[in-house]
Amino acid sequence: MTEEQLEGFKELAESIQQNTQQAYEIYKEEVDRIDKDNVQNVNEIERQLDYLLTYCADEKILLLFKKLCRHYFKIDPVATAEYVAIYRNMWEEDNQK
Protein backbone atom coordinates (compact mmCIF):
# COMPACT_ATOMS: atom_id res chain seq x y z
CA MET A 1 0.00 0.00 0.00
CA THR A 2 1.35 3.36 -0.95
CA GLU A 3 1.57 6.30 1.38
CA GLU A 4 -0.99 8.10 -0.79
CA GLN A 5 -3.46 5.23 -0.42
CA LEU A 6 -2.85 5.13 3.32
CA GLU A 7 -3.53 8.86 3.56
CA GLY A 8 -6.75 8.38 1.58
CA PHE A 9 -7.93 5.70 4.02
CA LYS A 10 -7.06 7.94 6.95
CA GLU A 11 -9.08 10.81 5.48
CA LEU A 12 -12.02 8.47 4.82
CA ALA A 13 -11.92 7.15 8.40
CA GLU A 14 -11.85 10.69 9.81
CA SER A 15 -14.77 11.68 7.60
CA ILE A 16 -16.81 8.70 8.76
CA GLN A 17 -16.00 9.50 12.37
CA GLN A 18 -17.08 13.14 11.96
CA ASN A 19 -20.28 12.08 10.20
CA THR A 20 -21.08 9.63 12.98
CA GLN A 21 -20.46 12.28 15.66
CA GLN A 22 -22.78 14.71 13.87
CA ALA A 23 -25.42 11.99 13.57
CA TYR A 24 -25.11 11.25 17.29
CA GLU A 25 -25.66 14.88 18.24
CA ILE A 26 -28.75 15.15 16.02
CA TYR A 27 -30.31 11.82 17.01
CA LYS A 28 -29.58 12.23 20.71
CA GLU A 29 -31.73 15.35 20.80
CA GLU A 30 -34.53 13.57 18.96
CA VAL A 31 -34.43 10.39 21.05
CA ASP A 32 -34.31 12.38 24.29
CA ARG A 33 -37.27 14.49 23.14
CA ILE A 34 -39.32 11.44 22.14
CA ASP A 35 -38.63 9.81 25.48
CA LYS A 36 -39.14 12.93 27.60
CA ASP A 37 -42.36 13.95 25.83
CA ASN A 38 -43.59 10.34 25.76
CA VAL A 39 -44.20 10.58 22.01
CA GLN A 40 -46.62 7.89 20.80
CA ASN A 41 -46.44 8.65 17.08
CA VAL A 42 -45.36 5.33 15.56
CA ASN A 43 -44.22 6.89 12.29
CA GLU A 44 -41.97 9.37 14.09
CA ILE A 45 -40.44 6.70 16.31
CA GLU A 46 -39.88 4.26 13.44
CA ARG A 47 -38.30 6.99 11.31
CA GLN A 48 -35.76 7.63 14.08
CA LEU A 49 -35.12 3.91 14.54
CA ASP A 50 -34.49 3.60 10.80
CA TYR A 51 -31.98 6.45 10.92
CA LEU A 52 -30.24 5.02 13.98
CA LEU A 53 -29.86 1.60 12.40
CA THR A 54 -27.51 3.11 9.85
CA TYR A 55 -25.04 4.10 12.57
CA CYS A 56 -25.38 1.30 15.13
CA ALA A 57 -21.75 0.27 14.65
CA ASP A 58 -21.03 3.23 16.93
CA GLU A 59 -21.49 2.38 20.62
CA LYS A 60 -23.05 5.75 21.54
CA ILE A 61 -25.62 5.50 18.76
CA LEU A 62 -26.35 1.89 19.68
CA LEU A 63 -27.23 3.14 23.17
CA LEU A 64 -29.66 5.65 21.62
CA PHE A 65 -31.18 2.84 19.54
CA LYS A 66 -31.66 0.73 22.68
CA LYS A 67 -33.19 3.66 24.57
CA LEU A 68 -35.68 4.30 21.78
CA CYS A 69 -36.48 0.58 21.54
CA ARG A 70 -37.30 0.52 25.28
CA HIS A 71 -39.65 3.47 24.73
CA TYR A 72 -41.24 1.88 21.65
CA PHE A 73 -41.67 -1.48 23.38
CA LYS A 74 -44.38 0.04 25.59
CA ILE A 75 -46.26 1.09 22.45
CA ASP A 76 -45.70 -1.85 20.09
CA PRO A 77 -43.68 -4.80 21.38
CA VAL A 78 -43.96 -6.76 18.12
CA ALA A 79 -42.62 -3.92 15.97
CA THR A 80 -39.85 -3.32 18.51
CA ALA A 81 -38.83 -6.97 18.31
CA GLU A 82 -38.68 -6.61 14.54
CA TYR A 83 -36.31 -3.65 14.87
CA VAL A 84 -34.10 -5.62 17.25
CA ALA A 85 -34.03 -8.48 14.73
CA ILE A 86 -33.10 -6.06 11.95
CA TYR A 87 -30.28 -4.68 14.13
CA ARG A 88 -28.97 -8.16 14.83
CA ASN A 89 -29.14 -9.11 11.17
CA MET A 90 -27.30 -5.94 10.12
CA TRP A 91 -24.65 -5.68 12.81
CA GLU A 92 -24.22 -8.76 14.98
CA GLU A 93 -23.77 -11.29 12.17
CA ASP A 94 -20.97 -9.17 10.66
CA ASN A 95 -19.18 -9.04 14.00
CA GLN A 96 -19.38 -12.82 14.49
CA LYS A 97 -17.86 -13.68 11.09
pLDDT of residue 13: 81
Q: Which of 67, 55, 50 is nearest to 22 (CA)?
A: 55
Confidence check: pLDDT of 7 > 80: no
- Model confidence at 16, pLDDT cuts 50, 70, 90, reads confident
Q: How many domains does the chain have?
A: 1
Which pTM was predicted? Answer: 0.85
**What are the pLDDT digits (tens) for 29-85?**
999 999 999 999 999 999 999 999 999 999 999 999 999 999 999 999 999 999 999
Domain that holds residue 17: 3-96
pLDDT of residue 97: 47
